[in-house]
Amino acid sequence: MAEQKRADRQAAPQDDVLDIRNLRIEATVYPPGEDPKTIVIVNDVSLRVGRGRVLGLIGESGAGKSTIGLSSMGYGRGGVRITGGEVILNGRDILGNARGLRRIRGKEVCYVAQSAAAAFNPARKLMQQVIEATLEHGVSSRDEAQKRAVDLFRQLSLPDPENIGDRYPHQVSGGQLQRVMTAMALCSRPDLIVFDEPTTALDVTTQIDVLAAIKNAIRETGVAALYITHDLAVVAQVADDIMVLRHGKTVEWGDTRQIIEAPKQDYTKALVSVHAISHEEQAPSPAPILTVDKVTASYGGGQVKVLRDICVDIHAGQTLAVVGESGSGKSTLARAITGLLPPEQGSITFDGRTLANRLADRPKEDLRQLQMIYQMADVAMNPRQTVGTIIGRPLEFYFGMRGAERDARVAELLDKIEMGKGFADRYPAELSGGQKQRVCIARALAARPKLIICDEVTSALDPLVAHGILELLLDLQAEEDVAYLFITHDLATVKAIADSIAVMYRGEVVRYGRTSEVLAPPFDAYTDLLLSSVPEMKVGWLEKAIESRRMDAGGN
Amino acid sequence: MFDIRHIPPSALVGLLLTALFLFAALFAPWIAPYGNGEIVGEVWGPMSAAHPLGTDNLGRDLLSRMIYGARITIFIAVTATALSFILGSVLGFTAAVVGGWIDQTLSRFVDLLMSIPTLIFALVVLSVLPSTLATLILVMGILDATRVYRLARAVAADINVMDFVEAARLRGEGRSWIIFREILPNALSPLVAELGLRFIFAVLFLSALSFLGLGVQPPDADWGGMVKENKDGIVFGIPAALIPAGAIALLAISVNLVADWVLNRTSDLKGGRGDG
């Protein structure tokens, strides 16, 4: 068998590890109340990855990126069938050879999942899991495998490489776990690794370290890789070639530099120029609409302090962006302002009057003028209510509108968010991600608020869709003169829309002021780290950013 | 959506049998050949053209008794289940939404009730209280409500932390809106599935009580009571006791088949891949 394999490898062209030809993948969907139907997920996609090369697969959700990635292991997720084409790994077509797959997976091709926390077995130590595939395939002895794992830990710049393998998955941070997973994939010396959005779930400040580690490890081991992501700026840092996918078809395939600097297709051009929003910073007015004065808040009855002496102002019709990594207290600040988490000390003044600390003590009028939009639009709407009910309820509740008057206003609001009034009878499940978020915006607008708190409203969306939402928010701000408290970890968004910025770190505001001031040097160490961690759509940005950093990210 | 071709055969059988039982229960006086307490022949008479199921221990027509028994059994089980659901879900939702000491008090009280074996608890209560239909339904309903409470509270606690409930709270909505308009529609499918099961348990529980002589009092009888009346005949090879016993089993199975199908269908609507 081994001889056979060697012969196979020799027969293959020297530089192609993976050669996918005319791949077609279908799935059967079961819409309620209708007959099952077959949909095409991937349609006639061909790609090649040479030895030691990295191919970036990029596209919005539903483009078929992950499905193609998994097909290189001969795997289709539940209900998905590979119905056409060839997947040639190391010169052999692996489709239709179900018994051979077990010998390939984990040995010749490995997989790095998006959520490392969900992919590790919480009951076993990291080392056992890292070397499991290596031992299973008999690639090397246990001692050798462990030695290699430690080497890989070092290569991936994990702290304490000799002993980190003795920890359990919950004992290391998210960014570290993602790197351990990369070590797991590299341990059996595979020829190909599939990275499926390995940094998407991480903070920007952590993402940069993981990216650098992955890039370094790929270069040192000479492995070929498929790198799947929706973030073009990220893939520009690690990939040699990029393939842009949309609706299961190839849009453009080319050299990274060409795709980033001279895209040929309109869709690629749109992706490359996604953050270009023109917004003019406004000067603060003398009387802010909302003043947060020395607010301190904590969870668990004073046990865990999450906000310390926060002072920020929001001016009417302007945007304050609150930025920081996860755990910095951004969302807690929103909860304190809305009264969901009553502040322990300090006061919140809104439109000239002091707001009651607790939500239950606030009059309806205060609640109306302060609305909120959530990150996950699909759980922010009741799945059993139609769009008409969702948008119409604030109208009924605050203004007592009924019947035709209400319906007319709902139609007007739907028009404002650039959706037709035909959407009024739809349920949230029948909307796309961007449409859901638009409906949430309409619900907030229905109350005619003076301030809307936007909690990471674009971070669950595809770049182009997020771009549309941001533009909509800015248009609405101009029309309705509403102020935004914009919570985000994405500095690119902030640069595009904010009038003033508050940078939060471990429950404190470390930098606060007008956008132009905050984003101008000299920087404090944390703002510098944050700013330098935002991937730019430039080849070679990563190396420069790593070199010029002054402070290590928190997860390390 | 209610295309008959989409109903799996097992559910179809369940639906058919359940409908048959319901029909018998609803129209008992019109379809029963004889009266409920009417003595028409000899004791434990064999099956014949006049008495298709034979006669019972007092010479009453067993078919007529079965039909009237269906009426009593199903009536009590349905009202007890309805009572348990209204009580259990409203209290469960309230506990989950309000939280705090109300939740603690209710939950610990329910734990207390559940820690006592249901049958023994019912036996004690029913032997102390006057044995009327209302007491019977009340006892069964309250005991069953503890199970519904647990489920309703767990489901509502899950939904209660969703963003759309928080959004409603931020809007300033009252508790009744949150419970009945935000949580209830989303909690309905697990509750509906539970409804079928609880109904079956109510039938079995009632039968057990009647068999022990604490359920429906003579001359009326539900199926459990009829098993008790005729059980001595088994020694002499008289099958009269097996007929109501079989009916209990058949009703339980057919309602279960329907409940399974409903569960599959509702999980369909939630996006799961049910085979309904």
Q: Are strands A80-89 and A92-93 parallel, antiparallel or unpaired?
A: antiparallel
Residue B27 domain flag: no
> For residue A441, which residues of chain B lie inside 8 Å, CB to CB?
none
Q: What is the pLDDT of residues B104-116, one digit of tens each?
A: 999 999 999 999 9
- pTM of the predicted model as reported, rounded to 2 decimal places: 0.79
Contact A29/B at CB under 8 A: no
Give the residue-averaged pLDDT of B12-25. Answer: 91
CA distance A307 to A524: 20
Report the CATH number that the domain containing residue B221 is assigned in CATH: 1.10.3720.10
If you write DSSP's letter for every residue of A1-47 in order, what string do you get?
A: -HHHHHHHHHHS-TTEEEEEEEEEEEEEE--TTS--EEEEEEEEEEE
Contact A374 B1 (CB under 8 A): no
Determine contact: A382 vs chain B, CB below 8 A: yes
Is B257 domain-assigned? yes
Q: Is the pLDDT of residue B229 over 80?
A: yes
Q: What range defines the domain where residue B70 resides?
A: 54-269
B158: in domain:
yes
- Model confidence at A276, pLDDT cuts 50, 70, 90, reads low
Q: What is the pLDDT of residues A319-357, one digit of tens each?
A: 999 998 877 888 889 989 998 888 888 899 998 888 888
Domain boundaries, chain A: 2-272, 290-381+450-520
* Percent of chain A residues past pLDDT 70, beyond the cut: 94
Q: Residue B107 is encoded by which pair of tokens?
A: 């939950």
Report the candidate in A165, A222, A162, A155 with the shortest Cα–Cα distance to residue A189: A222
Q: Which CATH number fits domain A2-272: 3.40.50.2000, 3.30.365.10, 3.40.50.300, 3.40.228.10?
A: 3.40.50.300
Separation in Å, CA A488 to CA A208, A232, A267, A330, B164 = 17, 19, 26, 8, 20
Residues of B in contact with A427 (CB under 8 A): none
- pLDDT greater than 90 at residue A492: no
Indicate whether this complex's ipTM tops 0.85: no
Find where tokens 């890292």 sit.
A130
Predicted pLDDT at A157:
82
pLDDT value of residue A13 = 47
For residues A232-261, average pLDDT? 89
CATH code of the domain made up of A290-381+450-520: 3.40.50.300
**Which residue from B minimizes the CA distance to A372?**
B167
Q: Do domains A2-272 and A290-381+450-520 have the same CATH topology?
A: yes
Q: Does the beta carbon of A394 lie under 8 angstroms from any beta carbon of chain B?
A: yes
Give the DSSP H or E segment for A248: none
A352 neighbors A517 (Cβ within 8 angstroms):
no
- Count the residues in chain A: 556
- In terms of Cα–Cα distance, which of B223, B230, B194 is closest to B209? B223
The whole-number pLDDT of residue A8 equals: 44
- Structural domains counted in chain B: 1
In a domain? residue B14: no
Q: Has residue B72 been placed in a domain?
A: yes
Chosen from A340, A382, A398 to mutate, greatest number of chain B CBs within 10 A = A382
Number of DSSP helices (H) and strands (E) in chain B, helices first: 11, 0
A28 to chain B, any CB pair closer than 8 A? The answer is no
Nearest CA in chain A to B268: A32
